[in-house]
Every structure is written in structure tokens, then in C-alpha cells.
Amino acid sequence: MEKENVIVVNNMYKSFKHNDILKGISLTLQKGENLGVVGKSGIGKSVLIKCIVRLIEPDRGEVDVLGTNILKCNDIELNEIRKKVGYLFQGGALYDSMSVRENLLFPIRRTQFVDKMHDAQELIEGSLRSVGLIDAIDKMPSELSGGMKKRIALARTLILKPDIILYDEPTTGLDAVTSGEISELIIKIREEYNTASIIITHDMKCAKIATDSIKIMKDGRFLEQGTYDQLSRSEEKEIRDYFI
Ligand SMILES: Nc1ncnc2c1ncn2[C@@H]1O[C@H](COP(=O)(O)OP(=O)(O)OP(=O)(O)O)[C@@H](O)[C@H]1O
Ligand SMILES: [Mg+2]
């Protein structure tokens, strides 16, 4: 049976002034798939996923998310799509002045996802349990370690029960053991929430654990796609070099 595509990017371009970043890039993400994206710093990985949810407006190309052409849809439709796409920002970005509970309440309020406070608390507790941090519910971000902050940011992404999660460097700045735990958590979340994900990462251990296949980004397009094992054993040194 053919799998359903949840994201299709076709021939997308994006330049900033004379800086051409995306030059006809294409990808498909299938239901239930975890797709890794690797590539050198500054190559345009974050720009790519920001274009997918129109945090950055692409210059040209097509982007279909969950069956909606998001470059042609109106603001209401775009908002509906964004509720279904969790975005874990590079750096995590919790609100420092808000407790964990308030940080998680924020997306519920913003989208009016549920109208009853009682339901909101249940959602908050459920997503904290999913990331193993229910005990942190009344802590402030300053009381959390880097790994805990990433987990809380992920819990905040899960609050709206997304169909898709876009992970931008989920393990950066963490030690190897904690990175491994976050990578395992990404797999657990896929099973629990039935999500598909794009995972941008420099961390090859994360790529190995958390992805089904990996795309290598270079010069505004993708060089190659394959599983971790295929790419790390590629005949081409240029490809293998990403896996050292
Ligand atoms: N809003 C913006 N305005 C102008 N230039 C931008 C903007 N966002 C990104 N860029 C430029 O686009 C290029 C790609 O940036 P991007 O953040 O996508 O890189 P990246 O591959 O995610 O790098 P890293 O691995 O370091 O996170 C960079 O040259 C960056 O300066
Ligand atoms: Mg980036």
C-alpha cells in the first residue's frame, strides 16, 4: 500500500538579497516517517523548515503540508496547519519568566485548543509524562538542566497533539548520554503520538537512532538520501565524510 505524504516540498527557492540559500530543493515526508537532514552550518537547514511552516516566505516552489498548499492558503488555514505541526526551535526557547506549567499552557491559550482549564491541565500533565518530567511542572526554566529544557520544549510541542514535528537540532549542546536519551525519546514520541518528523541534526548518533533515512543538504539542494548505514558506507568520500 502506498504511504500517505504529509509534507511535499517541490522545487523551492529562497534567497536573502544576493545570498541564494535554497535552490530548487525538494523533499517528501511520509506518514510515520522520521527524516533526518544533515549539512554544514549555514547551509540553510533551519531556513528550509521555516519555509515549510511559512515562518519564512519562500520565493518560489510548492509546499504541501497535510494536503494543504500552504503558499496559497489564507491566514486562517495557515493557523489550522500550524496547530498540527510542532516546531522544536534550535535552542529550545522556553519563556524564562514562566514556570514549566505556564510555558505549556501558552500554546493552548494561543490556539484556544481547549476551552476548559481542567482539560488544559490534563494535556499539560500528559505531555510532561510523555517526556518523563511530570515532577518539573512547577519549576522555573532557570532550575532546569539543558537536557530537561529540551524535554520541556518537546512537551510544549506535544501539547497540541501534532501530526508532524519539525526538530531543529534537538540534541545540540548536550552530553553524549543525554543526546542518546533525547534521540530515543524522539522514537518513543513517534510511537505514542503517531507523528512524522523532520529532524535536523549535526549529531550522527541522533541521526542513527532517530531517523529512518537521511538527506544531505549542500549548495541549496539535497545531495543524496539513504539510511544511516547506506550513507555511512557510501562509495563517495564526500558523503562518508558527513558520518565521521
Ligand atoms: N531571516 C534571515 N534574513 C537573512 N538571512 C538569513 C535569515 N535567516 C537565515 N539567513 C541566512 O541563511 C543562511 C542559512 O541559515 P540557516 O539558519 O538555515 O543555516 P543552518 O543550516 O540552519 O545552520 P546551523 O547548522 O548553524 O543552524 C545563513 O547564511 C543565514 O545567515
Ligand atoms: Mg540551523
Q: Tell me: the pLDDT tens digits for 54-99?
A: 999 999 999 999 999 999 999 999 999 999 999 998 876 899 999 9
Single pTM value for the model: 0.94
- What confidence score (pLDDT) does residue 132 get? 93
pLDDT digits (tens, 9 = 90+) for 198-237: 999 999 999 999 999 999 999 999 998 999 999 999 999 9
Q: Ligand 1 pocket: which of 13, 16, 90, 215 to mutate (most atoms <8 Å of CB)? A: 16
How far is ligand 1, taken at its centre, from the CA of residue 61, in Å? Answer: 19
- Within its chain, how far is the Cα of 77 from the centroid? 20
- What confidence score (pLDDT) does residue 116 get? 73
Considering Cα of 15, then 19, then 24, then 30, what sign does the dihedral take?
A: negative
Residue with CA closest to ligand 1 atom 24? 41
Mark out the alpha helices in 159-227 (DSSP H runs): 176-193, 204-210
Nearest to 63 by CA among 166, 189, 187: 166
Q: Please compute the mean of the pLDDT values over residues 20-25 and round it to a whole number.
A: 97
Considering Cα of 101, then 104, then 109, then 114, what sign does the dihedral take?
A: negative
- What confidence score (pLDDT) does residue 135 get? 95
Is the predicted pLDDT of residue 184 greater than 80, yes or no? yes
Q: Domains for the chain: give ranges and CATH numbers.
A: 5-91+165-243 (3.40.50.300)
Residue with CA closest to ligand 1 atom 16? 44
Is the predicted pLDDT of residue 144 greater than 70, yes or no? yes
Residue with CA closest to ligand 1 atom 19? 42
Does residue 158's CB lie within 6 angstroms of at least one atom of ligand 1? no
Cα distances (Å, whole numbers) of residue 157 to 4, 15, 24, 189:
23, 29, 29, 11
Is the predicted pLDDT of residue 187 greater than 90, yes or no? yes
Is the predicted pLDDT of residue 1 greater than 70, yes or no? no
Does residue 46's CB lie within 6 angstroms of at least one atom of ligand 1? yes
Q: Please compute the mean of the pLDDT values over residues 109-132 and round it to a whole number.
A: 85
Does residue 47's CB lie within 6 angstroms of at least one atom of ligand 1? yes
Considering Cα of 109, then 153, then 86, then 137, what sign does the dihedral take?
A: negative
Q: Ligand 1 pocket: which of 21, 53, 217 to mutate (most atoms <8 Å of CB)? A: 21
Nearest to 32 by CA among 159, 211, 157, 230: 211
Pairing of strands 196-200, 34-38: parallel
Q: Ligand 1 pocket: which of 18, 40, 46 to mutate (most atoms <8 Å of CB)? A: 46
- What confidence score (pLDDT) does residue 91 get? 74
Does residue 21's CB lie within 6 angstroms of at least one atom of ligand 1? yes
Looking at the CA of 38, name the nearest ligand.
1
* Mean pLDDT taken over the chain: 93
The pLDDT > 90 percentage for the chain reads 85
